[in-house]
Structures are given as structure tokens and as C-alpha cells.
Structure 1
Amino acid sequence: MSFIVVIPARAASTRLPGKPLLDLAGLPMVVRTARRAAQSGARRVLIATDHADILQAAAQHHIEALMTRADHPTGTDRLAEVVQTLSLPDEAVVVNVQGDEPLIDPRLIDAVAALLQRHPDAAITTCAAPITQADTLFDPNAVKVVCDHRQRALYFSRAPIPWARDALADGGRRLAPGLPARHHIGLYAYRAGFLKSFPQLPPGQLERTESLEQLRALEQGFSIYVHPTPTHPAAGVDTAQDLARVRALLDQNPAIDAH
């Protein structure tokens, strides 16, 4: 299995300014994420950034990094520039790891890469975990995914899907027994050929309505396969509360540190 990991790291962040360089037990967040990703089977891990300070931090910690344009509307567009810069062949597998995932499980990276290699008809693979709490099902910030019998994504939504008509007929907010609801996890593997074409794909009505970039691929007829993981991975860092949680976890568990 041969693949590379690219970590888009944009300097601007509304809720946590300078997020990629925030300190986590002595390491910048994006550096810690890259070290975790390097524990996967990736043959190459690199950071794609739009800021010289992030480029410098990567160099200080001996991590490969590329400077990319600052005007990319999405992280996927930034990956597309990396693919072009590196002249990757269309069949190359590129795993997108978000820079704010310092506790990412390297085995999950391997799983989405392997799933893409097993399915030549797929442009993208991702992963999802069972929803076990009603609050998650009804949370618009928790993206849900439904799949066919081959684990190909049929739809992603912020709405509670699938909808348990009978169990929720009274307007209650609960999990119906046996409901096959899954929480989408934002880890993706792409074929380089798809990434090259992505910037030319127009956002569709579904993407604009749900504000979910992956719907662009589905609307354009590309297949997305979903790796089912039995448990939720450690959450990323989006807020100051998340940052405090991860810092406390690293303080209590030094073995989590990646070398």
C-alpha cells in the first residue's frame, strides 16, 4: 500500500487565531498532527500551508512542508495545488489529514487509504462511526452519512438521517432502536486525478444548501466509499475548550506524544 499524507494548515482561524502553531505539550499543533500521521503507513507526510511561520515551524521539526496560495476556498483546493506541484500521477492516493487533529489514530489513516486502493471505481474514501447519542443525531454540526450495501455514500447531511418515521412521530428527539445512523468523520483519501479536477467542479445546490463540500463529488457522480469504524476517534481542536481538553490529556498521558 503506497500513499502520502497532506496536512492543509491555514493560518487564519476565526475561533482560535494562529491555531496550527498553538502549543500542545511543547509542540505546535500542526507538528504534533504530522508526527501522528507519520506513524501510519504513509511513505511521505507533508504540510501544505499559506503562512511562512508554519513553514518555518515544520522545518524546525524536520517535517516536509510546501507553501501554497492563500486564496484557496477549501482545504481540498489546497490539496489540488499540492498534487499539481508534486506532479503526482492520477492513480496516486492522497490522504487529507486536518491540521487540528493532533490525536488522530494512524490506523484510521491506513484504513481509508487501503479502502480507496481496494475500490478502483472510487474517487474518495472516508469513515464514519455509529451514533449512540440522540444529541449527536440532532446536532447540525455533526454530519451524518447513509450508505448503500457496499458502503458507498448515498448522502451526507446535517439533518438527522435516516429519519425514524414511526419512532419520532410524536416529535420526540431520541434514538430509535436499531437505527443505522452514522456520524461522518472528516478524514479523506483521494485519487490524485480527482483532486486535479476538483477546482473545476462547480459547487452544486446540495453543497450550497448543506455547506458540505463532499456533496459536490456526489452531485457530480463520483463514488465515495465509507470505512465503518466501531468507535469515535479523539475529537479535533475547534474551540478553546477543545484546546484545554487536549492539553490536559497530553499532560496526563505523555505516552501519546509522537516522536
Structure 2
Amino acid sequence: MSTFPECHAIIPARYESSRFPGKPLAEILGKPMFWHVWNRARLCDGLTSVTLATDDERIFEAARRHEVPVVMTSSEHASGTDRVLEAARKIEADPESVIVNIQGDEPCLDPGMIDDLLRPFSRCRAMVTTLASRMAPDEAESPDRVKAVISADGRALYFSRAKVPFDRDGSGGDYHLHIGLYAFRMQALMRFGELEPSPLERREKLEQLRFLENGIDIHVTETAHACHGVDRPEDLETVTAILERE
């Protein structure tokens, strides 16, 4: 049985977005979106700290006003994972600690998802973990819904925008929808930062493939919790209704 490590959550929050500029500052029930994500994440007992990581002074100052722990990071990062790595170094995370990458557009985040994400670290020497949920074959058609192919022991075999696995004989079966929450041992996160973008990563535009192409296992936990992310301004109405009900 592995000793459960110290766990630090980082919430990347960029101002620039092609579909929704300024998204982290979008107001929901009188608070900016990033506040709701932070507030939900800190309800998870397994986390030692929760910190916002931004490259924008407007977001930084808003976080300070709302008493959300925040660090300023470079605007040159190619991915959210690179931003998380810089933030983890700034909070001086121990090499054996676990860093949780929480998407900044999940104001309805269920803390139970973080519990699911962290579970493998208590039972094995996991280096990277993520989540998946079941979805029907017709949902798997969309390239925006990333599919995870998972081994019998819970390791990721592949992630793709294509509808995989291919059902050659029409035998049926569910597909696994990848949910973009990650947890990394700090040493695995540092290794990611040392590696160049990999061929499959560039081809699929999926940065998690960099781990698989370099022999770093990703453990996948199936979760029953649902996501309600904000991609566009019109999604705010849906998440506001969910938060009002709760």
C-alpha cells in the first residue's frame, strides 16, 4: 500500500479564448467563474491546497480581491499542463507530491471527481491519473468528445478524437469519454516539461499522448460524476441554474 502523498490543486486561468474571451471572469451568481471552481475544489478533503494560475493581471487582481490564492505565470506556455508545472514550482511543491490540474471552466465541479482522480495514488505507484465516463456509441461520433481506450487493469492504452475502438462486427458496447481532469506526481509533471511535443500529440491535438508515447502510464478511473463545463457564453445559463438548484 502506497503512502498517500500531499496533493496540491492548480487551476489554470487564461484570459484569451477563441470562443469566450475573459471566460474566467464571467460572473455567475455575483462571483467570477474561477471563484466557483476554486470554492468547489477546496471542498475535497484530499487536497492540501488549491491555487489559481493565470497570465493576466485582470484575473490576478480579481483573485486577490476574492481572497483566492493565485500565482502569475508566463503567457508563453503552449499548454495548460506547462502552466500547471510553472505554478507547482512557484508554490514549491515537493517532488513526491501530487499536482492536480483542474479545468478553470468547471464552476459546477463535483469534489467527488477529485476523490476519484486521487484514488490510484493510495493503492499503487501511479504517476499520472485521469478520469473517464461511459457514453453511448452515437455520442462517440463527435471529434470534440475524446475517447479513452482502457486496459483491464485501468491503464490508458490510447486517447483519440476518432471513434475508438472500431466496432468491426457491429457487436455493440459503450465507449469511454475522457474527462480532462489530471493528477500528476510532481516528478512526472517535470518530465512532461522536458519532453518535446510528440508525433501523436501533434496529430490528435491531445497533449496526454505525450506521456503514453514516452512510456509513462496514465491510470484511468471511471467516474459516475457528470461535467458541466462552460465553453461558450450561452453555457452560463445552464451552470447558473445548476448552482441555484444546489
Q: TM-score scaled to structure 1, two decimals?
A: 0.89
Give the alignment of 1:220-239 within 5 angstroms: 220-231=214-225, 233-239=226-232
1:241 equivalent in alignment to 2:245: no
How many Å separate the matches in 1 of 2:122 and 2:103? Answer: 21
Give the alignment of 1:147-186 within 5 angstroms: 147-167=150-170, 176-177=171-172, 179-186=173-180
Aligned to 2:51: 46
Aligned to 2:243: 250
- 1:130 pairs, out of 116, 119, 134, with 134
- 2:186 pairs, out of 174, 188, 192, with 192
Aligned to 1:14: 18
Structure 2: runs of 5 or more not aligned: none
1:85 equivalent in alignment to 2:90: yes
Displacement of 1:202 in angstroms is 1.1
Aligned residues: 241
Superposition misfits of 4+ residues, deviation over 4 angstroms: none
1:217 equivalent in alignment to 2:222: no
Aligned to 2:60: 55
Aligned to 2:121: 116
1:20 counterpart SS class: helix
1:246 counterpart SS class: helix
Q: Which moved more, 1:155-164 or 1:242-251?
A: 242-251
How many Å separate the matches in 2 of 1:166 and 1:13? Answer: 41
Q: TM-score scaled to structure 2, two decimals?
A: 0.93
Q: CA contact under 8 A between 2:10 and 2:88: conserved in structure 1?
A: no
Root mean square deviation, CA, Å: 1.4
Amino acid at match of 1:71: E
2:234 counterpart SS class: helix
- Once the two structures are superposed, residues 32-71 of structure 1 have per-residue CA deviations (whole angstroms, 9 ceiling, x without a partner) of 1000001112111110011111112212221110011111
How many Å separate the matches in 2 of 1:93 and 1:123? Answer: 9
Amino acid at match of 1:241: E
